[in-house]
Structure 1
Amino acid sequence: MSNPSQSERFARLRLARTEGIGPVTFGQLILRFGSAVRALDHLPQLIGRGGGTYALAPRDRIEAELAAGEAAGARLLVLGDPDFPALLSQLDPAPPVLWARGDAALLSRPCIAMVGARIASAGGLRIARGLAQQLGQAGYVVVSGLARGVDGAAHEGALETGTVAVLGGGVDDIYPAEHAELYRRIVAQGCVVSESPMGARAQARDFPRRNRIISGLSRGVIVVEAELRSGSLITARLANEQGRDVFAVPGSPLDPRSRGPNDLLRQGAILCEGLEDVERAFSTLRTLREPVEDHAFDGAPDDIDDAVLDRIAALLSPVPTPRDELARALGLPVSTVAAALLELSLAERATLLPGGLVSA
């Protein structure tokens, strides 16, 4: 992918901020039209033909976000930039845009994530801080989420060598407020990143996306302490889906905060008692999954007949269905089905999912 021009970078941010266009749809639009500029030109027609209403993100809102980023000393990274983090760009789907405050070069260095309980034990905090320090001295950038407990201890342990904090809100949204000083030090010595707009305040729905970026930036994820129903285990699951190594620090069965890591170990996570366990796992002959190139839109027609849209929509159900299966059922080319599904998605008549899946 060539280095995007300024107009293309603006268009990618605008496309990413348009309501109803998530990372999957964003990627499909770029694949079909080759650029965000062309995708924006075709969007009104596509949405209208699928039966939806046209509501592109206003230009002045995008200009205000760019101005806010500049005022905060933040840097915009769009998918396609040469320094967009390589591991993150390989996700299915990749986040279309990122804001970064601090040293964005850290995002392209070997990273490992560390997550765990917000109300951590004294021992858990000591382990997180010490292990993060060891990882940093061994050349790794430690990634976490700036939360209370294990996250904060991991950042503190790796401050001198390089740490990345991934936020749910905008890069200028300090959460929790008690970490204001830690946030300031990370901006000065590390990097703070987010895919949320400048000024956005973190909502509950933002944290799964935040967790996906934490694991996506990293070669592996270490879980120090976590109860069975926790965001840390969501991050571990996402890491596993992304082909990353999952490490777990074992703990006492008497402590509920050990149940998460101990359960991960039962499921095949890598035992982690120190740096040696991480380096042993990383030294094995194993490569991260390479992204599979999607050729679904090769030969896609410019116009999709309304009857075809209705036939495809009628086959959709809440259960995710492979795009290729729909094409076989209808006796249509995959390119036609892919183009039709994109239009149905923009009209909110279908939901595009990773891996070529779609649901009603």
Structure 2
Amino acid sequence: MTQPGPSHTERVMWLRLARTRGLGAIGFARAIAHYGNAADAIDDLPARARSAGRRVLEIPPPEAAEAELEQIGRLGARLITGLDPDYPALLAAIPGPPPTLVVRGDLSLLDRPACAMVGARNASAVGLRFARELANGLGREDIVVVSGLARGIDGAAHAGAIDSGTIAVLAGGIDHIYPPEHAELHARLAEDGLLLSEVPLGQAPTARDFPRRNRLISGLALGTLVVEAALRSGSLITARYAAEQGREVMAVPGSPLDPRARGSNQLLRDGAHLIESVEDVLDILSKARCPEPPAHGLEDLPPEALGDLFDDDEPSRAADGDAPTDTRSLPALDRLRALLSPSPVSGDELARAADLPVGEVQAMLMEMEMSGEIATLPDGLVQRRRQS
């Protein structure tokens, strides 16, 4: 028998507490564990803040929560709270799960086994192809692919799994399209996949929002697979969250000559599972075990463990790869260079990945070969030469 969800009043109170500035996901969980419900927490927290010498606590009024719910409904989206029986069980099991989720699309994807797939924004053409192939293969086995809709590996993973099921976790509101060139993919995900975020509609992401998003990407999945990642990148943050959440960590090995593979190769040295095929991923996921979620995803914390409810306890990890980058604004030759790696690739595939005419790409490759920047193999594939 399906458990009933919260009443409208409970939903409004929960949303008001969730949107209280400075409370944070862990502070929210502690408040609910201590007070038992959002309404009592809202009644008492302002006094607690004053006695703690904090500034006035900014709890949104009921009208603001009602307006947000109405806005979500107009978009054809839905607010899922920690009180709802269909709150994702795997996400509920992470420390400090998001109190609310704004979702749009196919909600049944949250009930299927999932694998997170992340990697470099400035991915190589070979990496992009492999990510698409892996995502497509996982989809054929009924595995949902979770990623962050960023450029590079994220976009390739979503594209490869769009027909079978994929979830995009966004750092901003689900109605904020970023990057702009993913507008069509964003629209397709809203219909055939699922868009998910913990922040309100209309909110543009800031640098600190990307690590917060990363913990949700790993939290929704049985395991996280890194395809390409530099030593300092948001993908490695996602992998660290996965390990801390008790999930499987997997990585695709890359050439030691390619800086984009150093982070993923480091993960392998640190004990991540080596992935060379869809079958490798399926084998790891079949053995994955995740913690049992507590009720509503909230820890039953004793009063002495409350600590300071008002600390801003949101994830604050940073890495070079967290900040949005736009390689499409680069000159054509630099865009082509960014896709080349020591792994052989065809000119046609480079043209597709760079969104450039094949003839223009072939001309640039000829110049790069004459200058010694690349090597052309007997089968016509090209690879970047090792820098001396």
TM-score of the two chains, using structure 1 as the length reference: 0.82
Q: Matched residues in 2 for 1:352 and 1:207: separation? A: 15
DSSP-derived class of the 1:200 partner: coil
In the alignment, structure 1 residue 276 sits paired with structure 2 residue 279: yes
Unaligned runs of 5+ in 1: 298-334, 355-360
Q: Matched residues in 1 for 2:53 and 2:4: separation? A: 34
Within-5 A mapping of 1:1-360: 3-52=5-54, 53-284=56-287, 286-291=288-293, 294-297=299-302, 335=303, 337-339=304-306, 341=307, 344-346=308-310
Structure 1, 287-296 or 229-238: larger mean CA deviation: 287-296
In the TM superposition, residue 282 of structure 1 has moved relative to its aligned partner by: 2.5
Percent identity for Structure 1 against Structure 2: 53
In the TM superposition, residue 2 of structure 1 has moved relative to its aligned partner by: 6.7
Q: Matched residues in 2 for 1:91 and 1:239: separation? A: 10
- Find the structure with the greater CA-based Rg: 2
Map Cα deviations across residues 63-109 of structure 1 (whole Å, 9 max, x no partner): 22222211211110001201110100111111100000111221221
Tell me the residue number matched to 2:367. Answer: none
DSSP-derived class of the 1:345 partner: coil
- Residues 54 and 210 of structure 1: is their aligned pair in 2 closer, same or farther, counting only changes over 3 Å? closer
Q: Matched residues in 2 for 1:295 and 1:212: separation? A: 21
Higher RCO, 1 or 2 (CA under 8 Å, sep at least 6)? 2
Contact 2:249 / 2:273 at 8 angstroms: preserved in 1? Answer: yes
Map Cα deviations across residues 168-207 of structure 1 (whole Å, 9 max, x no partner): 0001001101100010111111000000111101111100
Contact 1:2 / 1:80 at 8 angstroms: preserved in 2? Answer: no
Q: Matched residues in 2 for 1:35 and 1:160: separation? A: 40
Q: Matched residues in 1 for 2:26 and 2:222: separation? A: 23
Runs of 4+ with deviation above 4 angstroms: 291-295, 351-354
Map Cα deviations across residues 148-178 of structure 1 (whole Å, 9 max, x no partner): 0100000000000011001000010011011
Count residues in correspondence.
309
Q: Matched residues in 1 for 2:314 and 2:165: separation? A: 34
Map Cα deviations across residues 16-67 of structure 1 (whole Å, 9 max, x no partner): 1011110011001111111111211222222222222232123332222222
**Equivalent residue letter for 2:58:** A
**Equivalent residue letter for 1:118:** R
Q: Matched residues in 2 for 1:176 and 1:250: separation? A: 27
Q: Matched residues in 2 for 1:251 and 1:44: separation? A: 53
Tell me the residue number matched to 2:324. Answer: none
Q: Matched residues in 2 for 1:119 and 1:287: separation? A: 33
DSSP-derived class of the 1:88 partner: helix
- Superposed CA RMSD: 1.8
In the TM superposition, residue 295 of structure 1 has moved relative to its aligned partner by: 4.4
Unaligned runs of 5+ in 2: 316-388
DSSP-derived class of the 2:195 partner: strand
- Residues 164 and 353 of structure 1: is their aligned pair in 2 closer, same or farther, counting only changes over 3 Å? closer
In the TM superposition, residue 290 of structure 1 has moved relative to its aligned partner by: 2.8
